Each structure stands twice: as C-alpha cells, then as structure tokens.
Amino acid sequence: MTVLVTGGAGYIGSHTVRALVAQGRDVVVLDSLELGHKSRVGNVPFVEGNISDAKIIDKVCRKFEVSEVIHFAAYKAVGESMEQPLRYYNNNVAGTIALVRALMANGVEKIVFSSSAAVYGNPDHVPVTEDAPLRPESVYAETKAIVEKFLSSCESIGLRSVSLRYFNAAGASADATIGEDWSMSQNLVPLVMKALLGFSGPLNVFGNDYPTPDGTCTRDYIHVEDLAAAHIKALDYLNGGGKTLACNVGTGIATSVLEVISIAEQVSGQKVPHIISSRRAGDPVSVFADPTLARALLGWKANHDLRDIIGSAWKWHSSSAK
C-alpha cells in the first residue's frame, strides 16, 4: 500500500508528502525537478522522471507496490499558459492521460487530482458550489477542467478519482522549513512577503474600485497544510469505496487584498510597501468556496485562519529569503 505522489517536490506536493509521512503512510515521490526542489522531499523514496514516461511509471508501481496516486505534477502559471498552449496541453493533459494509462496497466485505480477553482472562471454566484458551470478563462484552467472530465469518464473503466478544486493556497509549514518560493509564483501572499522583506519594489494592488467593502478583490485563502490534509481525506474516501467526485477545497471566507496586507503588517510589525495600480485583466471580483461538500463527503474542513497563513508565510520567508 504505497501512495505515489507526482509533483511531490513542488509547493503543495511537498506539504502533502509530509502529512502522509506523519500519518505513517508509505510514499514514493515522482518529480521531474523541472520546477520542484528535491530538498523539499526529505527522506522519502524519490524518483526523478516524467509522468508521461510509461516505463518509469511501470517500474515505480512494481517496485513500490503503488496502490493509489496523488497527482500534482503540472504547469500552473496562468499567463504563461496563454502563450504556450501546446506545452500546457502536452504536460497537463497528455501527460495525465499517459500517467493514467500506465497506472491502470499496473492495476492502480484510485487517484486524487490537483484541480483548481480556476475551472469556475468568474462565477455568477458566491460562495461557489461544485455544480456551478465550468467556465475556464485560461489555458491552464482549461487543462484542469479537461483532466477532471477525462478522469470522470474513466470511472466506467474502473478508475475512481477525487478532483480537488483548490482555492488560493498560501502559507508555509509550521516548522518554517518549506513554503512557497516567490521566484516560482505570481500569487499574492509570496509577493506581499517579497515587498515586505525589500526583495522587490512596492506591491501593486490590482485595483481598488471593485464593488467590495474596501474596493479590492476578495479570494478564499487556504493554508497549505489544510490543503495537504484534504488530500489524505480524499484518499481515505476512495479507499472507503467513494465514487468519483469533484470537490471544493476552501475555507468559505472571502478576504480582500487590503486585508491580507493589513494582517501581514500586524504579523511582521512592518509596513507592506504598496501602491494602488490598475485592475489586472481578467481578475474576478470575488471568488470563495462553499466548502459544504468536502465536509460532508470527505470529513474535511479548514483548521487554520488567515493569521496562521500569513504568520507561517512570514516565518518561512523571513528566515529563508535570499
């Protein structure tokens, strides 16, 4: 009974590997190291390779007796995806199809998939529920929606899956040893930290004239360790015979950009240098989850609040920034 974690050397993957190990589960990580760091994986068995390499998947499944998979390995930069659709479809979609084919040839029929709230695009209603229409607005989000569909079609041939639709993953491990590298991310929290620590100019706040209480966009920030825990609950759900499912992983709380800045100032005791700039094209005003389904079917809920998220990010960035 070994869990194969693809992309386990990445940000969310490495936190999930830790959570699995902490529960005494057997784990093997497969990562191409194109974007991941091996140092994040710790002492867990590690194989360097690509998800589309059937020979490697075969070998790993046999050697480690893989029984289930958590699949993170993918490209995730939204802007880049619009410029390089071939690369994104090839890695995220074709790569996943090749992976699933090789897994099924080895009798592995349970997979937890790293999806994204980006599949909803700009939702008509918030909090957003899983039955909202999928209207991906980027190539990246399209690849996530297509893989969800592909996995759900594979239920008829025996594959069961949980697609976890992440909202805004943020924060770092409680011991401040792994976190979100700002050189690999355009997301708000690492950029706030970069500005705070003087590694960039002032943060650009993308618009303050939105119809929200303080005029800035709101999102659902979810602690990466809560997110990691959701993957384990999803595995347990599949091992308990659960059917294929797509499920939100968020807190249900909407937080504005200015609120993130304010908490970061309280936690660090310093001002976050920032300027109000124009709106970012395509930014939805407000996206936050209805997390009811995750609670009902996976028995999961978020345990950390925004202060924990920003506090852990600050601790990690301020001790490891270079």
Chain contacts with ligand UD1 (rule: CB under 6 A) = 78, 116-118, 140, 166-169, 186-188, 191, 203-206, 217, 219, 257, 280, 283
Of 46 and 75, the one with the shorter C-beta distance to ligand UD1 is 75
Of 16 and 67, the one with the shorter C-beta distance to ligand UD1 is 16
Beta bridge partners of 205: 276
CB of 109 to ligand UD1, least distance (A): 27
88 labelled catalytic: no
Distance CA 36, CA 184 (A): 10
CB of 255 to ligand UD1, least distance (A): 9
CB of 274 to ligand UD1, least distance (A): 8
Of 64 and 140, the one with the shorter C-beta distance to ligand UD1 is 140
CB of 184 to ligand UD1, least distance (A): 12
Of 103 and 146, the one with the shorter C-beta distance to ligand UD1 is 146
CB of 82 to ligand UD1, least distance (A): 10
- Neighbouring C-alpha atoms within 13 Å toward the C-beta of 14: 23
Range 43-62 burial, b when 16+ CB lie within 10 A, else e: ebebbebbbbbeebbeebbe
Q: Which of 11, 88, 140, 237 is catalytic?
A: 140
Q: By beta-carbon distance, which residue lies closest to ligand UD1?
A: 217
Of 205 and 306, the one with the shorter C-beta distance to ligand UD1 is 205
Just list the catalytic residues: 140
